[in-house]
Amino acid sequence: MTKETALLLASMLLKVANEIIKAFQLSDDELKEHVSKRLDAESEVAGDLAEYEATKDLKSLIDD
Amino acid sequence: MKKLLVIMVALSLVGCASAQRAGWIATAATIDARDAVDQGIKKAFHARAKSCYQQYAPDQLKAQECFTGSREYKAAVIWIKGNGNGVGVWEATNIAIKAAKAALEIAAGRGDSGATTLKKVLGIIKDAVCALAGIVAEYGDLFPAGAKDATKYLGLVKVMCK
């Protein structure tokens, strides 16, 4: 890897890190709450897939 | 080289926040990526169900074949059931997120150094993040909006999944 490539990569990584930070302008407590609240969320795809496999009914899937 | 890049990212994060906080941010980002992929696959799954139904109605068998043979259906199966190992990407992601959260809480209770904790958390979520990135890479064209959102939250992928 050349020096230029390494610098470019480092610059890209810094941008990514800043984007992530910007996406989470939350206090420490808010951040922890954000994780805790959504940790046990159910997959919506799981429900739909199970429903379809149980009924094989496309119409009811569409109507949901 | 990979380790160096991970350290660089970690330092970038630490530059903006504490390492413990960076661990929480990485964990929250993984949750957001998970939810963006789930929503994206759900929309694509429903859209394909509708198009197959409309195309073949009233022939239900043909409509079902159309649906179960689609990439949208395969994406949903891999997302929920995985590739024959019984653990889908969703569940694998959840297991990693819970482990990362527990590691952060234990570290905070012990007063461990932030850098060590961050390294551990990134290690825990690496496989989940790479699996999420994998499904986005293979099926993201089916759900471009969700894939875009997930990619936004998967900034560490290029470094972690090489």
pLDDT of residue B90: 96
Q: Cβ of B59: how many Cβ atoms within 10 Å?
A: 11
Q: Which residues of B touch A56 (CB under 8 A)?
A: 60, 64
More confidently predicted of B1 and B65: B65
| DSSP secondary structure letters along B42-99 | HHHHHHHHHHHHHHHTT-HHHHHHHHHTSHHHHHHHHHHHTTTTS--HHHHHHHHHHH
pLDDT of residue B108: 87
| pLDDT tens column, A9-51 | 666 666 666 666 665 577 888 888 889 999 889 999 999 999 9
Mean local confidence (pLDDT), B63-91: 94
pLDDT of residue B34: 96
Residue pair B39/B142 in contact (Cβ under 8 Å)? The answer is no
Q: Which two tokens stand for residue B147?
A: 């894939």
3-class DSSP state of A24: coil
Burial bucket for residue B107 (CB in 10 Å: 0-12, 13-18, 19+): buried
- The beta-carbon neighbor of A35 closest among B28, B63, B64 is B28
Give the minimum alpha-carbon distance from A4 to chain B in angstroms, rounded to a whole number: 15
pLDDT of residue B16: 46
pLDDT higher than threshold 70 for residue B33: yes
Q: Which two tokens stand for residue A15?
A: 């941008």
More confidently predicted of B60 and A28: B60
Interface contacts A/B by beta carbons within 8 Å: 110
pLDDT of residue A34: 87
Q: What's the DSSP call for residue B156?
A: T
| Contact check, Cβ <8 Å, A35/B27 | yes
- The beta-carbon neighbor of A45 closest among B32, B45, B64 is B45
Mean local confidence (pLDDT), B30-37: 95
pLDDT higher than threshold 80 for residue A4: no
CB-based contact, A13 to chain B, within 8 Å: yes
| pLDDT tens column, B102-153 | 999 998 888 887 788 888 898 999 989 999 999 999 999 999 999 999 998 8
- The beta-carbon neighbor of A21 closest among B17, B50, B79 is B17
Q: What stretch of H or E contains B149?
A: helix B144-153
Residue that is written with structure tokens 């139904």 in the block:
B53
Report the alpha-carbon distance of residue B89 to residue B135 in Å, rounded.
8
Residue that is written with structure tokens 């850098």 in the block:
B115
More confidently predicted of B3 and A43: A43
Q: What is the pTM of this model?
A: 0.82
